[in-house]
């Protein structure tokens, strides 16, 4: 064992400990590697920074920009609306539909990005179908992890695969975008069958994070106790209308606010003013205390629906909510009333209450002369709040969620992604260049501005990959990978290729539970390739097995996707162990069977 090997192994142990105990942020660890490895003389300065220009980093950046473009155009909201038409009320159908969709989305973008984008839509589907989120979010997360194995751009280890292989075998044929697709599809089909057969037994029954789906935050709920209840009412043919909201005086008598009107055959109005007319056949959305809303419905013989349906998409937490805004000294609304200011008509949001000192006013707020320091409780769509922020000097007490959606640009976002796919399949353009071309087109077609593209990039991941790739170079260049491989083979003796691949899959699955899947891929792929060469097996297959097995992370919430759904689903660690143990074994069996059948091993 030479000094360089000792040094690189010491660095690897230190990196693993840093990842496990999180003494230093992951991206800082990557930067440390770019500095430390050349200072120790293990790699050249050029090799130390080569990770930042690697194909893997370029692919990651492009995929993140794709995700930002889809989010900006409201693609997930549209997808949720489509899924709701087919989901019905069956828990199994909802579970399978959401899981399959999450896997599909994850197949063309990083699984953590896909899960983060789709989770609000999944929660809304759960709420509207009355299926507990705890029965859905974990399967959705598992599907997003597995879906990352359907193409070469779905998970970080697979994105790294070709770059790491070239460190060991510069002339190795790179894997194509869909090289892993048969294996990934087999894994997701196996998981869906696993859900159908055992889902009712392995998934937690009714864990649900408190306040996860409300129209306003828990902080506001503590201040405004009886505000924030949304209802949908149907006005039957017996209603003697039309009558205006001013005539009905709903807020004055029932402390209830009409926040939306859907006329029969007409356009929805999300900020109806006092002159808005209600007619038989209309459906209205209201906010108010449940008991008073019941009295309102009884007084006019209106029907309270079991849940939001017509307004479900429009008033979902992804699209609308309730916020609090303080009137600043510079605000032109000070010393005016909401009515004289035509507040609803001008800004498209609904005032629910005015708070002055410790008193909250609900009735008659349109005629209150507002003062500096008064607090307005407002309901509306997020895009209206973003517009309001730019027009009035109001100080929002919490960050306004969402952003102004460019729904008209959705076709351009999808077209840019299809362009990348055509370049890859029809013109054999390198993966990184084709994806970067699609990302650039999103900017040129104004799906995203260049500033929004920069802001969307997860620079933590970029510098983590940029620093860990040089560690893989040092692991190979110093001979450490070959030394460990030869030592293990000498200790175990010759083994069959299938047994060797099985050992790689199991070992990788274990390490990815406790160490980042990125560091696992960087260290295990070179080791597996060297051992495969020594045993006469295909080193490319060994690398592929390791890269896919890095996604076999279900029994602990250590994977980023599992961590993402942990709190919204109200899960405990034991819930992951119960649901993920069987899937871990099934993943290994399907992976090895698919490799054997497809490649004759």
Quick: pLDDT tens for 497-542. 999 999 999 999 999 998 889 999 999 999 999 999 999 999 999 9
Under a CB-based contact definition with an 8 Å cutoff, are residues 476 and 522 in contact? no
Between vectors from CA 483 to CA 480 and to CA 485, what angle results, nearest 5°? 110
Same-domain check for residues 294 and 357: no
Q: Is residue 273 part of a domain?
A: yes
Supply the mean pLDDT for the chain.
Answer: 92
Same-domain check for residues 325 and 370: yes
Q: Is residue 295 part of a domain?
A: yes
Any idea which of 41-45, 120-124, 206-210 has the lowest mean pLDDT? 206-210
pTM of the model: 0.83
At 22 the pLDDT is 83
* Highest mean pLDDT out of 22-26, 202-206, 392-396: 22-26
The CA distance from 291 to 175, in Å, is 63
The two tokens of residue 309 are 């349906």
- What element of type H or E holds 325? strand 320-327
DSSP 206-219: S---TTTT-SS-HH
Q: What are the beta bridge partners of residue 254?
A: none
Same-domain check for residues 334 and 388: yes
pLDDT at 146 over 90: yes
Same-domain check for residues 261 and 332: no
At 210 the pLDDT is 38
Domain boundary at 378, 396, 414, which? 396
Q: How confident is the model at residue 186 (pLDDT cuts 50, 70, 90)?
A: very high
Distances, alpha carbon 320 to alpha carbons 100, 217, 260, 266, 404, in Å: 27, 12, 12, 21, 11
pLDDT at 214 over 70: no
Under a CB-based contact definition with an 8 Å cutoff, are residues 107 and 154 in contact? yes
Same-domain check for residues 224 and 288: yes
Top-confidence residue, 222 or 182: 182
The torsion angles phi and psi of 224, rounded to 5 degrees, stand at -110, 85
Same-domain check for residues 259 and 287: yes
At 206 the pLDDT is 61
Q: Is residue 67 part of a domain?
A: no
Q: What's the structural domain count of the chain?
A: 2
Q: Is residue 173 part of a domain?
A: no
Q: Is residue 159 part of a domain?
A: no
Domain boundary at 396, 411, 428, which? 396
Under a CB-based contact definition with an 8 Å cutoff, are residues 514 and 554 in contact? no
The CA distance from 385 to 573, in Å, is 38
Tokens 């005086």 belong to: 249
Q: Is residue 486 part of a domain?
A: no
User: Half-sphere exposure (CA, 13 Å, Cβ side) for 48?
Assistant: 15
Query: CB neighbours (10 Å) of residue 45?
Result: 12
pLDDT at 87 over 50: yes
Same-domain check for residues 285 and 335: no
Q: What is the CATH number of the domain that holds 290?
A: 3.30.70.1450
Quick one: average pLDDT of 186-192? 98
Quick one: average pLDDT of 216-244? 88
The two tokens of residue 54 are 């690697």
- What element of type H or E holds 326? strand 320-327
pLDDT at 209 over 50: no
Same-domain check for residues 288 and 336: no
Same-domain check for residues 333 and 256: no
Query: CB neighbours (10 Å) of residue 78?
Result: 15
Find the domain containing 281 and state its range. Answer: 218-304
pLDDT at 212 over 50: no
pLDDT at 62 over 90: yes
Domain boundary at 270, 304, 338, which? 304
The CA distance from 346 to 523, in Å, is 60
At 225 the pLDDT is 79
Top-confidence residue, 386 or 580: 580
Same-domain check for residues 223 and 300: yes
The CA distance from 86 to 106, in Å, is 21
Same-domain check for residues 291 and 325: no
Same-domain check for residues 260 and 228: yes
Q: Is residue 288 part of a domain?
A: yes
Cα torsion 242, 244, 250, 253 to 10°: value is -100
Under a CB-based contact definition with an 8 Å cutoff, are residues 546 and 522 in contact? no
At 211 the pLDDT is 39
Helices (H), 301-353: 343-347
Q: Among 95, 83, 129, 134, which Cα is nearest to 308's? A: 129
Q: Is residue 3 part of a domain?
A: no
Quick one: average pLDDT of 368-387? 91
At 46 the pLDDT is 96
Q: How confident is the model at residue 129 (pLDDT cuts 50, 70, 90)?
A: confident
Rg of the chain's alpha carbons, rounded to an integer? 28
Quick: pLDDT tens for 392-428. 778 898 888 876 778 899 999 999 999 999 999 999 9
């Amino acid at each position: 064992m030479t000094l360089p090997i000792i040094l690189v192994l010491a660095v690897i142990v230190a990196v693993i400990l840093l990842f496990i105990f999180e003494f230093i942020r992951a991206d800082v660890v990557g930067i440390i590697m770019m500095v430390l490895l050349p200072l120790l003389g293990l790699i050249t300065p050029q090799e130390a920074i080569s990770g930042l220009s690697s194909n893997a980093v370029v692919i990651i950046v492009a995929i993140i920009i794709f995700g930002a473009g889809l989010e900006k155009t409201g693609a997930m909201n549209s997808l949720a609306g489509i899924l709701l038409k087919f989901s019905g009320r069956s828990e199994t159908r909802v579970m399978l539909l959401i899981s399959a969709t999450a896997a599909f989305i994850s197949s063309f973008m990083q699984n953590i990005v896909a899960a983060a984008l789709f989770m609000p839509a999944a929660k809304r589907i759960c709420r509207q179908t009355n299926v507990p989120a705890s029965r859905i979010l974990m399967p959705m997360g598992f599907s997003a992890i597995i879906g990352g194995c359907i193409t070469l751009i779905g998970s970080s280890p697979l994105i790294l695969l070709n770059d790491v292989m070239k460190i060991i075998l510069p002339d190795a044929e790179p894997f194509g975008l869909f090289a892993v697709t048969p294996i990934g599809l087999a894994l997701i089909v196996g998981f869906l069958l696993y859900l159908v057969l055992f889902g009712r037994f392995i998934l937690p029954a009714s864990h649900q994070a408190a306040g996860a789906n409300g129209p306003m935050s828990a902080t506001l709920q503590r201040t405004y106790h009886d505000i924030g209840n949304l209802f949908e009412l149907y006005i039957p043919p017996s209603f003697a209308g039309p009558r205006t909201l001013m005539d009905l005086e709903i807020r004055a008598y029932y402390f209830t606010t009409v926040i939306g009107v859907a006329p029969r055959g007409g356009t929805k109005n999300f900020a109806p003013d006092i002159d808005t007319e209600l007619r038989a056949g209309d459906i209205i959305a209201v906010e108010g205390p449940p008991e008073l809303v019941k009295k309102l419905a009884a007084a006019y013989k209106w029907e309270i629906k079991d849940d939001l349906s017509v307004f479900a998409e429009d008033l979902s937490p992804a699209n609308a909510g309730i916020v609090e805004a303080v009137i600043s000294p510079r605000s032109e609304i000070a010393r005016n009333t909401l009515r004289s200011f035509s507040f609803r008509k001008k800004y498209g949001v609904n005032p629910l209450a005015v708070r002055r000192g410790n008193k909250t006013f609900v009735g008659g707020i349109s005629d209150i002369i507002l003062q500096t320091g008064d607090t307005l409780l407002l309901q509306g769509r997020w895009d209206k709040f973003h517009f309001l922020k730019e027009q009035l000097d109001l100080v929002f007490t919490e960050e306004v969620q969402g952003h102004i959606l460019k729904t008209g640009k959705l076709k351009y976002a999808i077209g840019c992604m299809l362009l990348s796919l055509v370049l890859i399949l029809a013109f054999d353009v390198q993966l990184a260049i084709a994806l970067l071309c699609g990302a650039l087109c999103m900017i040129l077609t104004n799906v995203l501005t260049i500033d929004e593209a920069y802001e969307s990039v997860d620079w933590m991941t970029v510098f983590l990959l940029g620093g860990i790739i040089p560690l893989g170079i040092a692991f190979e260049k110093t001979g450490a990978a070959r030394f460990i491989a030869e030592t293990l083979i000498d200790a175990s003796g010759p083994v069959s290729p299938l047994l060797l691949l099985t050992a790689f899959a199991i070992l990788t699955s274990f390490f990815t539970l406790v160490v980042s899947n990125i560091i696992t891929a960087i260290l295990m792929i070179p080791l597996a390739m060297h051992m495969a060469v020594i045993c006469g097996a295909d080193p490319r297959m060994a690398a592929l097995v390791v890269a896919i097995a890095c996604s076999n992370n279900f029994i602990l919430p250590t994977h980023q996707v599992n961590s993402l759904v942990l709190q919204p689903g109200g899960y405990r660690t034991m819930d992951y162990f119960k649901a993920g143990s069987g899937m871990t074994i099934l993943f290994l069996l399907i992976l090895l069977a698919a490799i054997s059948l497809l490649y004759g091993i």
